[in-house]
Structure 1
Amino acid sequence: MITVITSFQFPKPVTREEARRIFLSAAPRYLGVAGLLRKYYVLSQDGTTAGGVYLWNSRVEAEAMYTESWRAVARETFGANPSVTYFDSPVVVDNITNEILSDE
């Protein structure tokens, strides 16, 4: 499994409610994306930085998402260029399903 963390700086700070509205408008485009297991939207407490934490089945599936087209939509939606960082996630603890997941 792969975890991807994206982040960007808002041109000006936003409130939690403003961010929630923006995130809800963007969220439907991630439903049913091949290989995407879960996505979390995140906002810094001062409202200046936001992003996402994604859990993917594979790096290939993750890389298929973060195209120049995706970056353009992110710039349009959030007003800033996103950064994208990939991490291997060999083990995930899921306390909702009471499972420990491994990619082997």
Structure 2
Amino acid sequence: MITEIVSFDLPADMPRDTVLALFEKTVARWQDYPDLIRKQYLYDPATNRGGGIYLWTNRAAAEAAHDSAWCDMAETLYGSRPTFAYFETPLVVDNRACEILR
């Protein structure tokens, strides 16, 4: 598994309600990816940063989902181009589901 951390700067004057509404608009898109295990939305009003943490079955799927067209869309929607970090994820402890993902 691969954890992908995506982050971007938000406009300083963008209110929290607007950020959350923009996030909500993208939920359906992420439900259609068979290689996406989980996505968490991130928001930090103190630094005007947003983003997501994605758990993918593999890095190729992560990179395909966040291609240049997606980066263009994110820049238009949120006001800045996203950055990416990738980490091998050998184990996930999921307390809610009472399971360990390997």
- Normalising by structure 2, we get a TM-score of 0.92
User: Identity of paired residues, percent?
Assistant: 36
Q: How does 1:4-19 map to 2 (within 5 A)?
A: 4-19=4-19
1:2–1:88 CA contact under 8 A, matched in 2: yes
Gaps of 5+ in 1: none
- Which residue in the other structure is 1:90 paired with? 90
Count matched residues: 102
Q: Deviations over 1:27-59 (max 9, x none)?
A: 211112130011111101426000000000111
Distance across 1 between alignment mates of 2:28 and 2:36: 13
User: Is the deviation greater in 16-25 or in 49-58?
Assistant: 16-25
> Given that residues 34 and 61 in structure 1 are in contact (C-alpha distance below 8 angstroms), is that contact kept between their aligned partners in structure 2?
no
Aligned counterparts, 1:1-104, within 5 A: 1-46=1-46, 48-102=48-102
Moved over 3 A (4+): none
